[in-house]
């Protein structure tokens, strides 16, 4: 198992299967940038399911235990359950998950994904207020259909379901307590995520960030809570439980309380670029190796060498200088 320069192993691989999305959330794919004329990847540029599965097997050989499928919106990729079935057979992968906005998650699709071997699912939901949610997704998509998708995932057994809420000051932070209250006692886990400066197109400002500490205090005023230990080394969410037994929630504080020191994650984009950090400027082209018929050992050597040189800790050194640097966009790297 290779370690990077800060002694961190590679345990978690996030694989984007498409750079396209049917939402235009301003913190990720603002409409003024990702408009009708924006050029997305061509089909031939995308890794095939077979190429993704081959890379997954190689990453598993050097310690990856968890794979999360992302996008863009991953359910825009046709027959995604076929890829899930391939990945579910990879030796060493103990946790196979998916992050989606829920818009395309029908009852049939949720069951097909579960039958193919998907273990869990995360669904993005930024507000329970329908007007706020429609404004944030910027395609007038109703909140009820996402709530229906959560029910479909629950019925299919894709548990525990995690509900991801990105918070932006003055936009949806008034929904924090409502969101916590709605999912208390359901077995689902809400994760409140600080608005991050991923990419260079979302107009990020520090004053728009709602700190995780504030989230915890708002919820504490409503219900008694206490902290929980992390489930595993490198878990991104700080966990809290309701003391009455109504479940738990998490806060992801990569802006105000960075966790770079325990980061065990890497990211693979839909066109086969290997990124070592969510805030990276450059990736490493693994697709070229695949399509130039490199051997498994040659690809493994390349991956090991790239990881061993890794010293990324963007969130710990974030400053006015680093915020302005060119960075890969969230829609390509998959969060």
DSSP secondary structure of 262-281: G--EEEE-TT-EEESSTT-S
pLDDT confidence band for 283 (50 / 70 / 90): very high
- Which pLDDT score is estimated for 234? 82
Residues 6+ apart with CB under 8 A from 212: 192, 194, 238, 251, 252, 253, 256, 257
Is the torsion defined by CA of 231, 236, 237, 238 positive or negative? positive
Judged against a pLDDT cut of 90, whether residue 330 lies above it is answered with no
pLDDT tens digit sequence for 4-40: 999 999 999 999 999 999 999 988 899 999 998 999 9
CB-based contact 315:193 (threshold 8 Å): no
DSSP secondary structure of 52-117: HHHHHHHHHHTT--EEEEESS-GGGSTTHHHHHHHHHTSTT--EEEEEE-STT--HHHHHHHHHHT
pLDDT confidence band for 233 (50 / 70 / 90): confident
pLDDT tens digit sequence for 152-187: 999 999 999 999 999 999 999 999 999 999 999 999
Class of domain 12-163+262-333: alpha beta
Mean pLDDT for 191-220 is 91
pLDDT tens digit sequence for 239-281: 999 999 999 999 999 999 988 999 999 999 999 999 999 889 8
CB-based contact 96:88 (threshold 8 Å): yes
**Hey, is 3 helix, strand or coil?**
strand
Mean pLDDT for 137-150 is 98
Q: How far apart are the first and last CA of the chain?
A: 24
pLDDT confidence band for 80 (50 / 70 / 90): very high
For residue 160, count CB atoms less than 10 angstroms from its CB and return exposed for 0-12, middle for 13-18, buried for 19 or more: middle
Mean pLDDT for 116-138 is 97
Taking the CA of residue 207 as centre, how many other CA atoms within 13 Å lie in the half-sphere pointing to its CB?
A: 1
Question: 0.85 cut: is pTM over it?
Answer: yes
- Which pLDDT score is estimated for 205? 87
Q: What percent of the chain has pLDDT over 70?
A: 99
- Which pLDDT score is estimated for 122? 98
Mean pLDDT for 127-150 is 97
């Amino acid at each position: 198992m290779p370690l990077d320069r800060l002694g961190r192993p590679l345990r978690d691989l996030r694989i984007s299967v498409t750079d396209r999305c049917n939402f235009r959330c301003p913190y990720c794919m603002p409409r003024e940038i990702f408009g009708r004329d924006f050029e997305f990847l061509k089909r031939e540029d995308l890794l095939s399911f077979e190429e993704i599965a081959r890379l997954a097997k190689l990453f598993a050989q050097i310690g990856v235990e968890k794979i999360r499928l992302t996008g863009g919106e991953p359910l825009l990729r046709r027959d995604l359950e076929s890829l899930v079935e391939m990945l579910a057979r990879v030796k060493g992968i103990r946790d196979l998950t998916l992050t989606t906005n829920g818009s395309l998650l029908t009852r049939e699709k949720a069951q097909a994904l579960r039958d193919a071997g998907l273990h869990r699912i995360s669904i993005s939901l930024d507000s329970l207020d329908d007007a706020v949610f429609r404004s944030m997704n910027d395609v007038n998509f109703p909140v009820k259909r996402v709530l229906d998708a959560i029910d479909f995932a629950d019925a299919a057994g894709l548990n525990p379901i995690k509900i991801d809420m990105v918070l932006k000051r003055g936009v949806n932070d008034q929904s924090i307590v409502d969101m916590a209250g709605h999912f208390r006692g359901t077995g689902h886990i809400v994760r409140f995520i600080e608005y991050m400066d991923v990419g260079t197109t979302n107009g990020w400002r520090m004053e728009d960030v709602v700190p995780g500490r504030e989230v915890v205090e708002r919820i504490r005023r409503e219900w008694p809570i206490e902290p929980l230990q992390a489930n595993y080394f490198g878990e991104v969410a700080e966990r809290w439980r309701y003391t009455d037994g109504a479940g738990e929630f998490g806060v992801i504080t990569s802006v105000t309380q960075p966790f770079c020191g325990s980061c065990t994650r890497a990211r693979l984009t839909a066109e086969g670029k290997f990124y070592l950090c969510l805030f990276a400027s450059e990736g490493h082209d693994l697709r070229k190796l695949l399509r130039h018929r490199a051997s498994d050992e040659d690809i493994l050597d390349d991956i090991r060498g790239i990881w061993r040189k890794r010293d990324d800790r963007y969130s710990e050194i974030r400053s006015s200088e680093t915020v302005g640097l060119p960075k890969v966009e969230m829609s390509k790297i998959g969060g």
